[in-house]
Chains A and B, each alone.
Chain A
Amino acid sequence: MQTALQKAIELILSGDRELANILLVTARTCVSSSLISLLIGVPIGIWLGTGRFRGRQALVVIFRTLMGMPPVVCGLLMYMLFSGVGPFRRFKLLFTVTIMIIAQVVLITPLVIANLETYVSSVADTVRETARGLGFGRWKTLLLLSNECIYPIFSTYLLAFARSIAEVGAVSMVGGAIAWKTNVMTTAIMLYTNRGDFTLGIALGIILIAISLLVNIAVTVMQRRLSR
């Protein structure tokens, strides 16, 4: 009997085709969903953080609440919407990678928004005062503010990616963990665990953590460079 670590290393070295497919699907899902969330969430976060309009506070509360939405609930919602009897059935998206990405975007975007809003609202007033005092208009002020957000955007991305790659409730619900198609690291771990094969589950877990670590190191290095 091998240790999980040996098994993990063996799995990687063996070039197992199913593992490669799982990794590929995982990468596609997580990278797409975290990037799309960032693309949607960052502008909204900056807008919310700088905006002064009625209902801003309410929106912030809503997004902070959504941030805590359990993944399964999000998955269930998407499942019902895109199910064979759901209102969006004609898109035929259930059990595809696309719907997994959509579900994760729904799940992660509030996190991005709330995170960025917190940072932006903490500096927005001083930045605005300083920029206006120097005679800059709206656009230049926004440009300066965005420039300030580089660092938090990176850390927010890390958070989004981490949540996305670690998330299992939503993807298993809408993806169905179908082999060769929508099975990602977390759902594969769940499947193996259900079969009682804990070692393989842990081996996959080790790979998952290693990937997370690599991404973290890469992003941290980039963050260091850009935040100078």
Chain B
Amino acid sequence: MKKTLALLLTLVLILGLLAGCGSSGSSPAPASSETPAASEPPASPAAPETPAASEAPAASESPAAPAESETPAASESPAAPSEEPEPAGVNTVILKEADDKMINTYTLLAVNPDAPFVDADGNPVSDVAVNTAGAEALIDWFLSAEGKKLAADYGQAEYGDSLFYLLDGAPVYEGEITPATDETGTIRLSTTTSVNDSGLLGALLPVFESEYGYKVEIQSAGTGKAIAAAKYGNADLILVHSKSQEETFVADGFATVLPGFESERLSFLYNYFVLCGPADDPAGVKDCASVLDAFAAIADGKYPFISRGDGSGTHTKELSLWPEALGITAEADSFADYTDWYVSANAGMGSCLVMAEQMGAYILTDKATFLTFQANNGVM
């Protein structure tokens, strides 16, 4: 009997703690007034009222959170949130966008079934199973009028703004799309986190699947990992956003030219990378003439910056924007001297955004993920 009681108590405590952690973000509206402390009594004794609650009304709902001590609104300038039209709670805002340097182009590549695959020991492997027919169908659909329209419209309903734009002069497909057969029914798409996490693929692919009978299996990782998966013969096509890495992929013979197209690299969508940071912008990047100046200003003032650090397309882009004199590359020792402000997170875009929000740091992100992050209220 005693054992059961102890067990129950432990459970309640754990649940209480988790409930507390989960609600640590500040609340936008006074409507959701019941605090976790009210719904889960065991959590309350461990969590005294945070002092921030009394000063900043906007951040009043950061209650029973013994583990996480973050009180964003209180530590940053209290005036900023009221000026911004964005939903309250997210202090990170877009500071620099629509710069030519910041264009983020998404490219489709079909994996070449006869690519020079090698196994872990470097021995050539010839009979790698690649569903080229499936990859072709999906690419054809992406580049058809229907696919393009859906992609370009994505985000209008939810965010009032497109998250992706169609590239001028993108390849067009006007022919028939082959429906699935038993052998080609499963398509392995290896892609970057941004297209998946922004919900684009979740919105598009079901349409394609129900229309043509395919099943698309998405693996999402940074561009580097997405390309590696294809090189190991674990993907039929890739959708990535890092020109240099794509070109190497093509040069190594891993991509194939599909019938009706001229190039291996089929770039069709783009959006902008945006430089985000705390609303009060201590480095003054808003007033910088170009994004390169902005990055230089951050480095000069040693303002905290979160780098993805995971070989993703975003990471590759960020590396190209630092002043060359700093010599920052993907190698860890290249930024060993800057660790007081340069944070290499080695994490997904969402995690990095959360981190930036908490630390009041600058960050480079694709716009789609940022808008999702913001719409979710910097969740968390």
**Complex: A in contact with B (CB within 8 Å):** yes
> Once the chains bind, are A206 and B15 in contact (CB under 8 Å)?
yes
CA distance A203 to B19 in the complex (A): 8
Q: Closest residue to B189 on the A side, CB-wise?
A: A178
Q: Which residue of B lies closest to A181 (CB)?
A: B217
Closest residue of chain A to B377 (Cβ to Cβ) is A1
Q: Which of B19, B193, B219, B373 contacts A176 (CB 8 A)?
A: B219
- The docked-state distance in angstroms from the alpha carbon of A4 to that of B14 is 12
Q: How far is the CB of A165 from chain B (nearest CB, A)?
A: 15
Cβ-defined contact, B232 with A3, below 8 A: no
Cβ–Cβ contact A193 & B350, under 8 A: yes
Known: A1-B89, A89-B128, A195-B197. 20 other contacts (CB 8 A): A2-B23, A3-B19, A5-B15, A80-B119, A84-B233, A85-B232, A89-B233, A94-B234, A95-B217, A176-B217, A176-B234, A193-B351, A194-B348, A196-B349, A196-B379, A198-B21, A199-B25, A202-B21, A206-B19, A209-B14
Q: List A1-18 residues whose CB lies under 8 Å from chain B.
A: 1-7
Q: Could you say which interface size class chain B belongs to? A: 35 or more
Residue B292 is within 8 A (CB to CB) of chain A in the complex: no
* Min CB–CB distance B128 → chain A (angstroms): 5
Question: Does B36 contact A194, Cβ atoms closer than 8 Å?
Answer: no
Q: How long is the Cα–Cα vector from A20 to B281 in the complex, in angstroms?
A: 44
Q: A87 to B23, Cβ gap below 8 A?
A: no
Contacts A5-B40, A196-B351, A199-B379: A83 and B233 contacting too (C-beta < 8 A)?
Answer: yes
**Chain A residues near B251 (CB-CB < 8 A):** none
Complex Cα gap A83–B120 (Å): 10
* Interface 1/0 per residue, B18-58 and A, CB below 8 Å: 11111101111000100010011000000000000000000
Partner among A4, A206, A217 whose Cβ is within 8 Å of the Cβ of B23: A4
B380 in contact with A196 (CB, 8 Å) = yes
Q: Give A181-223 interface residues, CB cut-off 8 Å to B.
A: 181, 193-200, 202-203, 205-206, 209, 213, 217
A6 vs B367: C-alpha distance when bound (angstroms): 30
Contacts A84-B130, A199-B22, A202-B21; is A194 near B232 (CB within 8 Å)? no
A217 CA / B233 CA spacing, docked (Å): 44
The answer to whether A197 touches B129, judged by C-beta atoms less than 8 angstroms apart, is no
Taking the complex as formed, is B376 at the interface, i.e. its CB lies under 8 A from any CB of chain A? yes
In the complex, the answer to whether B218 meets A87 with C-beta atoms within 8 Å is no
| Cross-chain contact of B125 among A6, A85, A205 (Cβ < 8 A) | A85
Say whether B39 contacts A197, CB under 8 Å. Answer: no
Give bound CA distance, A86 to B32, whole Å: 53
Whose C-beta in chain B lies nearest to the C-beta of A201? B22
Contact among B25, B117, B129 for A1, CB-based, below 8 A = B25
- Complex CA–CA separation, A80 to B125 (angstroms): 13
Is B264 engaged at the interface, CB distance under 8 Å to the other chain? Answer: no
Name the distance in Å between A184's Cβ and chain B's nearest Cβ. 15
Residues A4 and B18 in contact, CB atoms below 8 Å apart: yes
- What's the least CB distance linking B64 to chain A, in Å? 9
CB distance from B176 to the nearest CB of A (A): 27
Q: Bits for B212-228, please: 1 = Cβ < 8 Å to A, else 0.
A: 00000111000000000
* B23 A194 Cβ-Cβ under 8 A: no
Binary A-proximity of B251-287 (CB < 8 A = 1, otherwise 0):
0000000000000000000000000000000000000
In this assembly, does A62 line the interface, its C-beta being within 8 Å of a C-beta of chain B? no
How far apart sit A195 and B376, CA to CA, in the bound complex (Å)?
10
Tell me if A177 counts as interface (CB < 8 A to partner B): yes
Q: Does A138 belong to the interface (CB within 8 Å)?
A: no
A85 touches B119 (CB 8 A): yes
